[in-house]
């Protein structure tokens, strides 16, 4: 069975959210905070997490910072410890989008 989840994030909204004290620590894991150098990157990772939970169909069962998006040597994103999940992240203008396929 294959499940799919997609999420779209407004980069300008993420920029405002990142200014809220403690937001980044509540939402992003330490490896994500170390990797993301731009607001677009944070927005893409956030979209990936939302898309993952949408694909699960169960809502947010864990804190967002418990799910970690990593990147391989070529920059390809993947979920730490979630081998059955396929992830694509893209950015264009003020938008970041992520699509997740869960394959069981």
Rounded CA separation 58/41 (Å): 25
Query: Is pTM, for the whole model, over 0.85?
Result: yes
In this prediction, residue 10 carries a pLDDT of 98
Low-confidence ranges of the chain (pLDDT < 50): none
pLDDT of residue 50: 94
> Which domains can be identified in the chain, with CATH numbers?
2-103 (3.90.470.20)
End-to-end CA distance of the chain: 5
Q: What is the pLDDT of residue 58?
A: 75
Positive/negative CA dihedral, 77, 23, 96, 15: negative
What is the tens place of the pLDDT at every residue in 54-73? Answer: 998 877 677 888 899 999 99
> For position 63, what pLDDT does the model report?
80
């Amino acid at each position: 069975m294959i499940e799919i989840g997609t999420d779209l994030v407004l980069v300008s909204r993420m920029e405002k959210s990142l200014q809220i004290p403690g937001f980044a620590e509540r939402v992003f894991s330490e490896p994500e905070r170390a990797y993301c150098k731009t607001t677009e990157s944070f927005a893409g990772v956030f979209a990936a997490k939302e898309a993952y939970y949408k694909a699960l169909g169960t809502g947010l069962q864990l804190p967002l910072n418990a799910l970690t998006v990593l990147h391989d040597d070529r920059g390809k994103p993947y979920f730490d410890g979630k081998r059955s999940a396929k992830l694509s992240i893209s950015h264009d203008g003020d938008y970041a989008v992520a699509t997740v396929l869960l394959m069981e």
